[in-house]
Amino acid sequence: MDASVETSNFISSSSSENVSEVIKMAKESKNINKCSRETGIDRRLISRWLKKEDSIKNTRNKRSRLYANTGQDKSFYSSMEKTLYDWILT
């Protein structure tokens, strides 16, 4: 399998498990550049993950959904959208 394909799959699926593996690898090797070369992930992103490791772990443990439901209408023009909806149905 081509290395660029593996890298793109790894980055696109950046699940918390993958991020944890990269953080662990970077800590063990104590060399972000080496970890970057091995995983194909930019060293700046790995550095950012290392700095935010605690918040990443907490988010992973707390997250139950990918979005926060505010219970509010997110539409800027809700009355216009309702009018348009009614017009389409008639």
The whole-number pLDDT of residue 19 equals 83
What are the distances in angstroms from CA 57 to CA 1, 28, 43, 50, 90? 31, 18, 20, 11, 51
Taking the C-alpha atoms of residue 1 and residue 67, their distance in angstroms, rounded to an integer, is: 34
Does residue 77 belong to any structural domain of this protein? no
Residue 11: the pLDDT is 47
Note whether residue 79 is domain-resident.
no
What is residue 76's predicted lDDT score, i.e. its pLDDT?
78
Whether 21 is in a domain gets the answer: yes
Place of tokens 């793109």: 8
Q: Is residue 39 part of a domain?
A: yes
Does 83 reside within a domain? no
- pLDDT at residue number 2: 42
Distance CA 16, CA 12 (A): 12
Asked if residue 82 is part of any domain, the answer here is no
Query: Based on the structure, what is the number of domains in the chain?
Result: 1
Low-confidence stretches of the chain (pLDDT < 50) are: 1-13, 66
Q: For residue 56, what are the domain limits?
A: 1-62
**Residue 71: left (phi > 0), alpha (psi -120 to 50), or beta?**
left
- pLDDT at residue 54, as a whole number: 81
42 part of a folded domain: yes
The 10s digit of each residue's pLDDT in 54-63 is: 877 776 555 5
* CA end-to-end span of the chain: 55
Distance from chain centroid for Cα 37: 21
